[in-house]
Amino acid sequence: MANEIKGVQVFAPATVANLVCGFDVLGMALQEPQDVMTVRLREQPGIAIQHADGYDLPVEPEKNVAGASLLALMDEWKEKVGFEVIIDKRIKPGSGLGSSAASSAGAVVAANHLLGNPFSKEDLVRFAMNGEKVASGVKHADNIAPCIYGGITLIRSIFPLDIVQLTAPPMYVTVVHPQIEVRTSDARQILRKEVQLKAAIKQWGNIAGLVAGFMKNDYALIGRSLEDVIIEPVRSILIPGFDDVKKKSKEAGALGGGISGSGPSVFMLSKEEAVAKGVENIMTDVYTRLGIEFKTYVTNINYNGAKVIS
């Protein structure tokens, strides 16, 4: 290795997982917010993690999502290597906007770049899923895949990993993040272990309709398919104001939307920017009235994914 220590900065985007009916199989990358990460090669093996934010997350590699992802990458790299990672989280942990996925994906995208890009995007998803296991106890890829590939992705299979990139028409995404915490592990525990066949059939139709709507640029079909009869009815009870936001947003012209990941963030898709901004006003009114602090975003789909910027 050269004496000069190489380093890069990476922007890693927030993501919306599930996209209403696609539990654990659909995900979408957002333009805002994004984490900023600086990753450098070290002359000595191992991983050193620092935080440039106030979230007091673990710095031990095995307990940190970025560290766990890098350890998986290093296990398959034939040479001894070390990394220094500085994480500036702009995506609040526990927001339902893929905060752990951004750190996991950003770390392996940066490391791969520094090593000369020996690994494929599918490899990077596989490595970064180890970070998701640290965060939630489950190796899921519905946030990781869009964070690395960009755009909207379908996880056809986890084992073996099979990721399908979907096309989609231009859409605006309005997000509200109520400043309450819903832990992914807790949100999974309240889910039903069994599903009635008639509910499963309805859900399959909605997932297929949503994917077809994206690929056909059919806004009406997208709107009709943004329905979840299995997960949302259970998880929405953890999010104050959810039903009010969803009902009023659709009345205002939004295509539809729902819980982002396991919550508490809620997202709505719109065809026009004016509608998306109107939805933001509705979200503001609902959470102001409830007396719950919140943050909103009006953004677009991010088609680049985690990106090395310097």
For residue 247, count CB atoms less than 10 angstroms from its CB and return exposed for 0-12, middle for 13-18, buried for 19 or more: exposed
CB 245 within 8 A of CB 283: yes
DSSP secondary-structure letter at 155?
Answer: E
Cα angle vertex 121, ends 113, 210, to 5°? 140
Beginning with the edge strand found earlier in the chain, give each strand of the sheet holding 294-300 in spatial order.
256-259, 266-270, 172-178, 294-300
Q: What angle do CA 222, 258, 218 make, to 5 degrees?
A: 5
Catalytic, out of 15, 153, 184, 299: 184
Q: Is 167 one of the annotated active-site residues of the chain?
A: no
Q: Write the Ramachandran bin of 301: left for phi over 0, alpha for psi from -120 to 50, otherwise beta.
A: beta
Strands 152-157 and 162-166: antiparallel
184 is catalytic: yes
Residue 274 neighbours by CB distance under 10 Å: 12
How far is the first Cα of the chain from the last one, in angstroms, to the nearest whole number?
20
Cβ neighbours, 10 Å, residue 173: 24
Q: Which two tokens stand for residue 75?
A: 């296990």
In angstroms, rounded to a whole number, what is the distance separating the alpha carbons of residues 9 and 156?
31
Residues 6+ apart with CB under 8 A from 17: 24, 26, 27, 98, 140, 142, 143, 260, 261
Set 15, 132, 153, 299: catalytic member: 132
Residue numbers annotated as active site:
132, 184
